[in-house]
Amino acid sequence: ETGVTQTPRHLVMGMTNKKSLKCEQHLGHNAMYWYKQSAKKPLELMFVYNFKEQTENNSVPSRFSPECPNSSHLFLHLHTLQPEDSALYLCASSQPSSGGYNQPQHFGDGTRLSIL
């Protein structure tokens, strides 16, 4: 149990479907992140939110639309995805450095997304 919960764990969808991924953190953190993890590639940062405000968009296609209604919840809305978007989507959260110690990111178990 990492304190970051993602649902669903698995999702299969067609290219014309609309679905949403959900992330909830119970750690009191104020930053949340979406990463994409594909086979044989490093984790790719997608979006960053600090205090509910989007602070980074790493050139992500508009078919991915994030939403952060509060510091504990993060969504990723999916629309007309492509087969190459099949991957593990990981949510993470973190809090600012404390006492000079650099705080790690805490990850959820991810949503395994398959696009047909």
Partner 1 sequence: GQNIDQPTEMTATEGAIVQINCTYQTSGFNGLFWYQQHAGEAPTFLSYNVLDGLEEKGRFSSFLSRSKGYSYLLLKELQMKDSASYLCAVRDRGGNTPLVFGKGTRLSVIA
Selection from 48, 31, 42 nearest residue 103 by Cα? 31
Please choose, out of 17-25, 67-75, 77-85, 88-96, the segment that lies near partner 1 by the rule CB under 8 A: 88-96
Could you tell me the smallest distance in angstroms from the CB atom of residue 89 to partner 1?
12
Scan residues 42-71 and list those touching partner 1 (CB under 8 A): 42-43, 45, 48, 50, 56
For the record, the structure tokens of 102 come out as 């650099």
Amino acid making up residue 62: S
Distance CA 79, CA 45 (A): 19
Work out the number of other CB atoms within 10 angstroms of the CB of residue 33: 22
C-beta of 30 vs 80, nearer to partner 1: 30
Task: Enumerate binding residues for partner 1 (CB under 8 A).
Answer: 2, 4, 30-31, 33, 40-43, 45, 48, 50, 56, 90, 94-97, 101-110, 112
